Amino acid sequence: MKLLSTKATCNSHGQDSSYFLGWQEYEKNPYDQVMNPEGIIQMGLAENQLSFDLLESWLDKNPDVGGFKSAGKSIFRELALFQDYHGLPAFKNALVDFMAEIRGNTVTFDPDHIVLTAGSTSANETLIFCLAEQGDAFLIPTPYYPAFDRDLKWRTGVEIVPIPCNSSNNFQITESALQQACEEAKKRNLRVKGVLVTNPSNPLGTTLSRDELNLLIDFINEKNIHLISDEIYSGTVFSSPYFISVMEILKQRNYHKDSHPDVWDRVHVVYSLSKDLGLPGFRVGAIYSENDTVTAAATKMSSFGLISSQTQYLLSALLGDKKFTKKYISKNKKRLKRRQSLLVSGLQKAGINCLQSNAGLFCWVDMRHLLQTDTFEAEMELWKKIVYEVRLNISPGSSFHCSEPGWFRVCFANLSQDTLNLAIKRLRSFVAESFPAAAHHHQSRESSKTRSLSKWVFGLSSRVREQEER
């Protein structure tokens, strides 16, 4: 007789992905400026540690909240006792207001249609449980977050079918790619129940365009399926084109709840405070759905992963401080933009380019020219050198199901500026020593740009002088 379940002994969790293996190598030999300066620098972790000082400053100014007091009196016992799994009304109200503020108040959210969960991992899995059966499928554009293979599939039994996107159009979603994914699902005898997108994208660091969002709405209407929009990076958009929520698209198309209830019942949003506020350890996630049946079912399921009352109380006060949230959102975006620019410019000096991005805590980095062959085997060989020789933990594109070898995700917001500069220095040295041809090509190209610019500036100066003499 088997003593353990099939679930306990199966290997479908995805922990053996290179995405997670890189973390394991980092944990064996973590970089520390003093204790281990030759260790592996963690650039595979999408955490936002750039604005902790703003949060800590707010806590210092609001000691009663951190001490679980109200009007100077302790409410610890009240918070410590059992709370209804619907969540604290004050927190739900503050959360939906914050979600609207991040979106420029172009849309509003009804607190009665939000379900609180222990992070976005729980939110996504709960939605899949509500929308699909074992053996059904969701379509997801590539490249996509590696842990979706765990979060969406492992316990639900639901399958993922990739929507193939590539660099020829900067990995944008196309109608042909959607239809190709449907055909693939049909070949595998899978019933497609919906599409899941991350907007902004992890790992691309880009926002979905208005055309892509309209295409997705048309597609789910044609197929009569669901759309899940994972918008946990919505507050990290630091430059144009700016973020457009799927909810804004429904509003602009005049798809009102009363006139188009079928559409509203099939569009769902996932949100979290893990990325925008940098609070993954607080385990705060949410599902927003206008589908009453989904909301009711998800609320019941949320009892398996609740947010503590203490966390809800603290964050309801923080998010309810509108002066603070406005300041935080603005400063956080400026810091992200500055840090992303540092990484991009540093990589360019090493002869490495990035996909042009406007959001997120990472860059999608193009190292195709450093591959020995145009294969995923060559990508893994390069990745191993970067992990073990350069001692940087970055994530290979194959772990994100990218269709083209040679792309890597590199995170920039979880480490100090000094550590980032060291990481760039290590990578530049590696490229110069191991790929001199690539480094020489980059230097030649930069010299050509400089000559062209000098010629242009000289010519311009001459024309200006001529005009002045006239």
- What's the rounded Cα separation, in Å, for the pair 451 and 268? 53
> Is the separation of the CB atoms in 132 and 196 below 8 Å?
no
Residue length of the chain: 470
- What's the rounded Cα separation, in Å, for the pair 254 and 252? 5
191 DSSP 8-state letter: E
- Beta-carbon-side half-sphere exposure of residue 85 (alpha carbons within 13 Å): 15
Exactly one of 31, 144, 145, 288 is catalytic; which is it?
Answer: 145
Query: Look-up: residue for tokens 């003093």?
Result: 34
Exactly one of 230, 255, 307, 329 is catalytic; which is it?
Answer: 230
Active site includes 16?
Answer: no
Q: What contacts 462, CB < 8 A, 6 or more positions away? A: none
Exactly one of 40, 173, 217, 232 is catalytic; which is it?
Answer: 232
DSSP alpha helix (H) spans, 188-321? 210-223, 246-252, 261-264, 292-301, 309-320
Pairing of strands 69-70, 407-411: unpaired
Active site includes 26?
Answer: no
Beta strands of 17-59 (E only): which ranges? 41-42
**Collapsing DSSP states into helix, strand and coil, what is residue 30?**
strand
> To which H or E segment does residue 197 belong?
strand 191-198
Rg of the chain over Cα atoms, rounded to whole angstroms, equals 24
- What's the rounded Cα separation, in Å, for the pair 406 and 374? 8
> Is the separation of the CB atoms in 162 and 181 below 8 Å?
yes
Active site includes 85?
Answer: no
Q: What contacts 183, CB < 8 A, 6 or more positions away? A: none
The string of DSSP letters for 358-423 reads -SSSEEEEE-GGG-SSSSHHHHHHHHHHIIIII-EE-EEGGGGT-SSTTEEEEE-SSS-HHHHHHH
243 DSSP 8-state letter: P
> Is the separation of the CB atoms in 26 and 40 below 8 Å?
yes
Active site includes 163?
Answer: no
Residues forming the active site: 145, 230, 232, 275
